[in-house]
Amino acid sequence: MPSTGVTTLKPANLSELQGHLLTHKADVDQFRLRGPFDVAMQDRELHLSGTERFNADFYSFAPAEKAPLVILLHGHDNTKEDHAYQAFHLATWGMHCLALQLPNQGPWVTNGRILARIVQAIRSRPEMIDSRIDPNRIILAGHSYGASAVVIALAGGAPAAGGVLLDPAGVGKEMIKFLRQLDKPVMVIAADEKITRVRDRGLFYEIARSGIAEVSVRDAHHEDGEFPMESGLGSATEEHQITFVSVLTAAAFSLGVTGKLDYVWTSLGEAIQNGKLYDALRK
């Protein structure tokens, strides 16, 4: 396991954990640690039709309570395994997580529309994944072009609470149309533009009309937005991957429990002061 350590919190159940987090100071650094719950992983095959089947890994936490579901989508030329630790980490904090495999060469507009249909199917029949999923609290998260697919899904009416974009990359001029159609809260977690640049990342905050927040991880590479269980992913470093996953966890908790970005926004303060995060924007 990555060297994150484990929280000292010992909640008896999910409700107790959520209540504690909401009534104490919001601090993104607490989510650098693994959460208090044990996690199980199972393979899932999603059937959208007789010919459409998609593989996924389902990470669930132990308490038998209804809980939010985070759907994680990889980017170009990557796989669901590249987000395995993020999915595991989210589950330790009381959010079921589905690491989804879609065609990793695109086309990403098509992937976004497939993602929207998957969300609709889970919303209608959560038991196709697990009966403990709260269908009213689904959060979408994607890396790079996978983040564009998240925007496309939300713009197309996917019944999700919101999205988290991990160093998003645009897929062309049509992204402007999708970004203008966004009506769900979205959090952008960006790599350091002095270190790495991706296609049209600035468009996401610039074009979205409202309900969007953004923060950058100092000295982080694009690959730090991924976090496989095994190391050796390009230019990624564990320290920056942990920072990415901590902000992702705070954002997913914020969206899944409150439906808003207020909690995660408040949680960023100290990390901005100590320089781990910078360029925090919100509108």
Predicted model pTM: 0.96
Strand, coil or helix: 61? strand
Exposed/middle/buried for residue 251 (C-beta within 10 Å: 0-12, 13-18, 19+): buried
User: What is the homologous superfamily of the domain 14-282 according to CATH?
Assistant: Alpha/Beta hydrolase fold, catalytic domain (3.40.50.1820)
Tokens at residue 194, please?
């002095």
Local confidence pLDDT in tens for the 283 residues of the chain? 788 999 999 999 999 999 999 999 999 999 999 999 999 999 999 988 878 899 999 999 987 789 999 999 999 999 999 999 999 999 999 999 999 999 999 899 999 999 999 999 999 999 999 999 999 999 999 999 999 999 999 999 999 999 999 999 999 889 999 999 999 999 999 999 999 889 999 999 999 999 999 999 999 999 999 999 876 667 789 999 999 999 999 999 999 999 999 999 999 999 999 999 999 999 9
Question: Would you say 265 and 186 are in contact if contact means Cβ atoms under 8 Å apart?
Answer: no
Q: How far apart are the first and last CA of the chain?
A: 37
Alpha-carbon gap, residue 262 to 33, rounded angstroms:
21
Distance of CA 115 to the CA centre of its chain: 14
Which H or E run contains 118?
Answer: helix 108-124
Beginning with the edge strand found earlier in the chain, give each strand of the sheet holding 53-61 in spatial order.
39-47, 53-61, 96-100, 67-73, 133-143, 162-166, 186-190, 212-217, 277-282
